Structure 1
Amino acid sequence: MLQQLIKLLVVFIFLGYIVIWILMPTNVLYVHSLPLYHTSDSRFLWRTPRFLKGTTFCIFFGDQGANILIFAVPVLVMACLSCLYLHLQMKYRNHVDKSTSKSSGLARWRRPAFLKGPLGTISWIELFFSFLFVGLLAWSSWAYLHGIFAGITSSSAAQMRKTVWEIKMQRVALTQAFVGNICLAFLFFPVTRASPLLRLFGLTSEASIKYHMWLGHAVMALFTGHSICATIYWATTHQISRALKWDRVGISNVAGEVSLVFGLAMWLTTFPRIRRNFFELFLYTHYLYVLFLVFYVFHVGFTYTFITLPGFYLFLVDRYLRFIQSQQKVRLVSVRVLPCKAVELNFSKSPGLIYNPSSIVFVNIPAISKSQWHPFTVTSNSNMDCDTLSVLVKSEGTWTGKLYAEFASPSPLDYLNVSLEGPYGPTPPNLLRHDMLVMVSGGSGITPFISIIRELLFIASTTNTKVPPVLLVTSFQRTVDLSMLKLLLPATDTTYDLSAMDITIEAYVTREKEPSMESQKFTQTLWLRPNDSDRPVYALLGSNNWIWLGAIILSSFIIFLVLIGLLTHYYLNPDKQSNHEIYSETSKATLSMLVMCVSIATSATIGFLWNKWQSYRDMKRIQNVDIETPMGSPGHDDFWHYNFNRELESFPRQSILQATNVHYGIRPNFKRILINCDGSSIGVMVSGPAQMRRSVARICKSGLTKNLHFESISFSW
C-alpha cells in the first residue's frame, strides 16, 4: 500500500512538473517568471513570480531562487521518493508474486506500433508519449511566437530602426532556443544508468537510450537553427561583430558558439554509418558533452541553467558513483573458453550483491584498452550463484577478439586486471504472470535468457510455485555455437537440474546441414591466480543502495543550496548596484558549477566510504577463503580438482541434451511456432539481431492471435 502511495505521489508531482512546462510560454508564467529578452543589450531580465516575491527563499537565493523551487526541487523530490519506493520493493521482494493481471489493459499498449522507420520498433505507449512530447514542443513554439510577435508592428520596428522581418528573425532564434531547452531538460534522464526515476516506471537506461538519441537530435537541430537565425539577424542588421562578444553581463555569444561547435562534433558522429563503422570516434567524441554543457552555462548564465539542471544533476551523481566504482579492481576467478570463440568471465561476488536477471555490467580491461568500457549481459543469477558474477563475451570485434585470443592461446594468461561498473538492470521481472514464456534469441543474444532461465529454475527448485513452461527458440550460424547452451546451468553446481521445470529448447543451425567436426571440441576452464589488490564485485552503496542513493541526492543538493545561497547573499551579491562591476556572469557560473561538483563529490564519497567500511569484514572473509573444490562426482563432466592452470573439458549436461532439439540448415518459422503456443497469455521475449526482433514483433502485432505479449530485451548502446 505504501509503495502505491509513493508511486501515485511521484506521478502527481511529475504531472505538475509537465504543467509548468506547458504554462511557461503563456501569460500565466511568462510575464512573471520567465526571462524576457532585452534587445538593446542582449540580456535576460529576470522576474520572480508574484507568489514568491518577498519570500525568504528568493531573498536568500536571489533571482535563481524561483527557478530552484519551480524546476529543480520537484525533480529531485521525485528522485528521492523513487529511491524509497525501490528500497521497499527490494525489501519485500517476492519471487512468486502474480499480482500483475494477465488481462491488464496496458498489455495492448505495449504491443508494437511500428517496426521500421527512423524511430525503429516502438510500442503504442511509446508512440503515445512521443506524440505528447512533440505536442508540447509544437505548443511551446506556437505560444512563444504568438506572444513575442504580438507587439511587432511597422511603427515599433521603425522606432528600433529595423524592419519587421529582421525583428521576427531575432524572435524566431530566441524561440528555437527556448524550445531546445525543453529537450535539453530531458536529455540526460535516459542515460543515467542507476536512475531511480527510470526504474520506478519499469525502464532501464539501456532500453531508454533511444529516447536520448531522439532528444539529442532535437536539441542539436533546434540549437543549430537558433544559431543560424541569430547569425542571419546580425548579418542583415550589420551587427556581425556581436558574434565575437563575450559580455560580462547577460548573454555571452562566443560561449554559445563554442558550445554549438562541441555539440555539432558529437551530433555528426551519432549518425548510424559513422557510429557503426567508427565506434571509437563516436565514443571519444561524446565526452565533449562536458565542454558542451560548461560553455552552455557560460552562454545563458547559471541562473537560467536551473531550468535544465535537474536531469543533468542526477546524471552527475550517477557518473561520479560510476567513477568511484571504476577505480576498484575486481577479482577474476576463472574463465571458460568455449569452442565457439567465446569466453565466460567468472568474477568473485559478494553475497550481499543482489541484481535482477538480464542485468548489464560495463567491463574495462586495461591490458586491451585503458579507455574502452564494453557492456555485457550478466549470465549468472544472484540467487543461484551467490559468490559468482559471470558474463559471456563473444569474439565479434577487435576488443572481444583480443580478449578471446589471450585465453585461447597455448600459453593463456594466469591473471587479468579488470574493472567493472554495475550491474544495472531492469525492475524485477514478473516471470510468472504468463501461462507460457517464449524466448527467441539469435547468436549471443541468448545471454539475457541464461540468467532468466536460471531465475525460473531457482524458483522451481526452492519453492512450491509452478513456473510457466518455457520454449527457448535459438538460432546459431554454426554447430559449434551450440556450446553456449552449456551456460544455462552453472559450471560447478549440481544442485539444480533443468528437469525441475518444463523447458523445451529448439536450436536452429542455419549455415550447416549436419554437425561439423568443430562441435566435438571441448570447453576449457582456466583458473586464474588471485591478487591481493583485487576485490569481489560488491554493491557500491551496500545492501540498502537505493536508500543511500536517495540520501546522497538529497544531502548533496542541500549542501549545494546552503553554499550557493551563502555565496549569493553574502559574497557574490552583497550590493546589487556594484555587483556587475565586480563579478562577471562567467565568474559566477564557474563558481556555481564548482560548488555543485564539490557538493556531489562530498556526499557520494562519504556514502561510499561508510558502506565500504561496513562491508569490509565481509569482503575480507571472502578474500581470505581459499577457492573451494567445485562440487561434482567421479565421472561427471564437471568433476575436477583445484589447480591454477588446470584445464577442464566439460560436456553438455544430460538434462540440457534431453530438452534440446537441433535443426540443421533451416531457419525457425516464428509464425508457426508462436501461433501454436497454448495459453491465454504468452510472454514473447526477443534478444538478437534487429531483423529477428522486427520479424517476431510483426507477428505479435498482426492480430493473428491476441495472447502474444511482445518484449524486446536486446541491448543496443
Structure 2
Amino acid sequence: MDSHTSPPLPPPGPSDGGNNTIRAAIMAVVVAVFAGYLMLWVMMPTNVYRQIWLPELRAQTASTYFGTTQGATYLVFTLPVLFIAALGCVWEARLDTAALRLGLVGNIALSFLFFPVTRGSSVLPLFGLTSEASVKYHIWLGHIVMTLFTAHGIAYIIFWAATHQLSEMVKWEKTGVSNVAGELSLIAGLVLWATTFPRIRRKMFELFFYTHHLYILFVFFFVLHVGISYTCIMLPGFFLFMIDRYLRFLQSRRAVRLTSARVLPCQTLELNFSKAKGLSYTPTSIMFMNVPSISKLQWHPFTISSSCNLESDKISVIIKGEGTWSKKLYQLLASPVSVDRLEVSIEGPYGPASTDFLRHDLLVMVSGGSGVTPFISIIRELIHTMTTLKHKTPQILLISSFKNSTDLTMLDLILPISGAPSESANLGLQIEAYVTREKQPTTQESKTIRTVWFKPNPSDAPLTPILGPNSWLWLCAIISSSFIIYLIFIGILTRYYIYPIDHNTNKIYSSSSRAVLHILFICIGIVVTATIGFLWNKNSNAREVNQIQNMEGATPVGSPNSWYYNADRELESLPQQAFSQTVNVHYGKGQILKESSVGVLVCGPKKLRHEVAKICSSGLAANLHFESISFSW
C-alpha cells in the first residue's frame, strides 16, 4: 500500500444513521415552527390578526402575572425562537444525554412533590404554610415532574428507535437501571396526570380521586427503575408523607359521634360532631370527611365553622350541596324520614398554627356563596375573645354575595347551635348581603332551618387528637424511631445477607430485590412506631371519651337556640335578635367594597378574589392588608 494513500473510511454504522434520523426529525420541527413564526409576521398588519386573532390570544393568555397583553406577546413572538434555540441545544448535546438530564431534573421536582400534601406536616409550619394552602405548589410540581419524565421517556424511545436498539425497552436488568420498571412508572403517572387537569377533575371528581391512587404504583416502579441509592434523593418527602398517611388511616378507622345537623332550604347542611376538649384547632381549619353510606372510598375536605374555644365539646362543618356527593348527603338528611344515626369518619382537623385577627381595628371579610364558612369560624372565635377573655376585638364588616335569596339562610349559622353568651350582642358586626341573580325579594313558603338530632351510638366516639395533646413530640418520636428501625433492619440484612452474596460468590444481588426490601423495612418501621403512638394516646383519651358518652342523654325534643333570618324563631335571646338586625340585604349586582384602612379577608370564587385584590392594590387606601383564603384548587 502506498504510504501516501489513506485507508478507506469504514461504512456508516447504525449510530450514524440514527443521528441523521434524529437530526432530520428535529429539523422538520424547526422548519414547521419557524414557518408559523414568519406567517404571524405576515398576518400582523391584517384585520384578521388585529380584530380576531389578537383579541382571542389576549383573552386566553391574560393573567395577573403578565397582564392582559404581555402574555400574548410571549406566546407568539418570544417562545417560538426560544423553542428553536432549545432544540438546537438538545441536538448538540446528543439526545441520549439530554434524555438523561431530563430525568435528573425531574427527580429534583419529585423530591419536593409530597411536602405540600403532608397534612400533618411539621415542615410547612416552619415557613408559615399549611397543607391546604400549599396544594397549588403540589399541582405545579406535579405538572413539572410529569412533563420532564414524559420528555425523558420519549427522548429515550426516539433514541433507541433511531439507533436500532428498541430491544432496550423490554430489558429488566438485574443491576443498574431497569427500563421496564421506568416504563410502568411512567404509564401509571400518565394515567394519573391525565385526570388532574381542572376541566376533568371538576366534572369527573370520582375518576380523578380514584386514579390519583396510582401514585403508589408510580413511586414503587420508580424505585425499582432507578434503584434505592438514587431514590434516597426524593425519600425524605415521601417518607414524611407515608407517616402522615398511615396516621390518617388509623384516625379514620373509628366513626365519629354526629350529634345534630341543621338543614337549610338552600341545599346546605351544618353538621355538629362531638369532640374531646383536648382537641384544639384554629379558625379557617379544615377536616376531611367520609360517609360510607354514600361512598366508602371518597374523602372530601370541608372548612370548620366552629370555634374550639367557644364550643369546647363540639366541632362543626358547613356543606353546600354543589357536587354529586354533597347533594346525596343533603338529600339523605333533608328526607322526611328521620335518620337515627349517620356513620361518619374524619381525618383532621388541619389548619394554620396561629391566627392574628386582633391586630386590625376593622376586619372586612368578603365572601362568595359557601366562602362565608371560614368567616363564621372567625366570628365565633372573636365572640369568645370578647366575652370570655375580655379582649378588645376589631369591628367586623362581613360582605357576602349569594346567587339566590334562599342562600341568605347561610348567615343564620353564624351563631352556634348551642347558643352564644349574651355579651356577644356587643360584637361590632355588620353584615352586607348581596343577592346577585334576583332584583327583588321573592316570597317563599318556608325559610326556616330544620334541626335533626341523632341518637347516641356506642360504636361512635368523640373526635380526639390522634397523637394526644403532645402531638408534635409524638410525631418527632415516630419520625426518628421509624427511620432508626429501618436503618437497623437494613443494616443487619446488608451486612449478613446481601454483602456475602455480592463479595464472596460469583453472584450479584438483584437491585430490584434490594429496593423491595428497603421499601418493606421502611413500611415496617412506620407501621410499628405509628401504631404504638396511636394506641398509647387512644388509651389515654379513653377516660375522657367515656365521660362524654355518659353525659350524652336522650335525643332532645327541639333544637336549642336556633335563629332564622326573615322567619319565626324557636327561642328568643338577645344575641339572636342583635345578629338578625345586623343584616342588610341588597338585590342585584353592585359595588360591594369601598376603600378603607382595614384588614381585608376574602374567600370565594377566583374572580371575586382577584377583584378584591385589585381594589386593595390600587392605592385607594394606605393601610389595606389583604389576605386570600382559598380552598378551591
Q: How does 1:21-40 map to 2 (within 5 A)?
A: none
> How far off its partner does 1:202 sit?
1.7
The answer on whether the counterparts of 2:455 and 2:554 sit within 8 Å (CA) in structure 1 is no
> How far off its partner does 1:705 sit?
2.5
Partners of 2:200 and 2:506 in 1: CA distance:
46
Listed one character per residue, the Cα deviations across residues 628-682 of structure 1 (whole Å, up to 9, x for unaligned) are: 8989999x7679xxxxxxx995789211122211112233433xx2x1x2x4xx2
Listed one character per residue, the Cα deviations across residues 142-174 of structure 1 (whole Å, up to 9, x for unaligned) are: 9xx9xxx9xxxxxxxxxxxxxx96972111111
> Which residue is 2:39 aligned to?
none
Equivalent AA in structure 1 for residue 144 of structure 2: A
The answer on whether the counterparts of 1:524 and 1:648 sit within 8 Å (CA) in structure 2 is no
Structure 2 counterpart of 1:445, from 363, 371, 375: 371
> Which residue is 2:435 aligned to?
509
> How far off its partner does 1:268 sit?
1.2
> How far off its partner does 1:582 sit?
4.8
CA 1:565–1:471 in structure 2 vs 1: closer, same or farther (change >3 Å)?
A: same
Partners of 2:221 and 2:619 in 1: CA distance:
51
| TM-score when normalising by structure 1 | 0.73
Q: How does 1:249-288 map to 2 (within 5 A)?
A: 249-288=175-214
Structure 2: unaligned runs, 5 residues or longer: 1-58, 67-84
Structure 2 counterpart of 1:365, from 291, 296, 309: 291
> How far off its partner does 1:532 sit?
0.7
The answer on whether the counterparts of 1:350 and 1:619 sit within 8 Å (CA) in structure 2 is yes
> How far off its partner does 1:404 sit?
0.9
> How far off its partner does 1:121 sit?
6.4
CA 1:638–1:690 in structure 2 vs 1: closer, same or farther (change >3 Å)?
A: closer
Does residue 469 (structure 1) correspond to residue 395 (structure 2)? The answer is yes
The answer to which of 478-487 and 298-307 deviates more is 478-487
Partners of 2:63 and 2:293 in 1: CA distance:
36
Partners of 2:569 and 2:375 in 1: CA distance:
25
> How far off its partner does 1:519 sit?
7.5
SS in 2 for 1:219: helix
Equivalent AA in structure 2 for residue 527 of structure 1: W
The answer on whether the counterparts of 1:461 and 1:500 sit within 8 Å (CA) in structure 2 is no
> Which residue is 1:700 aligned to?
616
Partners of 2:415 and 2:563 in 1: CA distance:
11
Q: How does 1:139-538 map to 2 (within 5 A)?
A: 168-518=94-444, 520-538=446-464
The answer on whether the counterparts of 1:406 and 1:412 sit within 8 Å (CA) in structure 2 is no
Partners of 1:551 and 1:303 in 2: CA distance:
25
> How far off its partner does 1:576 sit?
3.5
Partners of 2:358 and 2:569 in 1: CA distance:
36
Partners of 2:137 and 2:336 in 1: CA distance:
45
Partners of 1:167 and 1:656 in 2: CA distance:
70
> How far off its partner does 1:612 sit?
0.5
> Which residue is 1:686 aligned to?
602
* Corresponding pairs, count: 554
> Which residue is 2:588 aligned to?
665
The answer on whether the counterparts of 2:170 and 2:180 sit within 8 Å (CA) in structure 1 is yes
| TM-score when normalising by structure 2 | 0.83
CA 1:575–1:406 in structure 2 vs 1: closer, same or farther (change >3 Å)?
A: closer
> How far off its partner does 1:413 sit?
1.3
The answer on whether the counterparts of 2:412 and 2:563 sit within 8 Å (CA) in structure 1 is no
Listed one character per residue, the Cα deviations across residues 414-462 of structure 1 (whole Å, up to 9, x for unaligned) are: 2111101111111211111222211000111100000011111111112
Partners of 2:576 and 2:528 in 1: CA distance:
51
Partners of 2:584 and 2:445 in 1: CA distance:
15
Partners of 2:167 and 2:92 in 1: CA distance:
17
Equivalent AA in structure 2 for residue 705 of structure 1: A
Partners of 2:300 and 2:60 in 1: CA distance:
27
SS in 1 for 2:625: strand
Equivalent AA in structure 2 for residue 180 of structure 1: G
Partners of 2:420 and 2:510 in 1: CA distance:
69
Greater relative contact order: 1 or 2 (C-alpha under 8 angstroms, separation 6 or more)?
A: 1
The answer on whether the counterparts of 1:334 and 1:345 sit within 8 Å (CA) in structure 2 is yes
SS in 2 for 1:298: helix
The answer on whether the counterparts of 1:252 and 1:299 sit within 8 Å (CA) in structure 2 is yes
CA 1:348–1:633 in structure 2 vs 1: closer, same or farther (change >3 Å)?
A: closer
Equivalent AA in structure 2 for residue 698 of structure 1: K
> Which residue is 1:615 aligned to?
541
Q: CA RMSD in A?
A: 3.0
The answer on whether the counterparts of 1:632 and 1:638 sit within 8 Å (CA) in structure 2 is no
CA 1:349–1:234 in structure 2 vs 1: closer, same or farther (change >3 Å)?
A: same
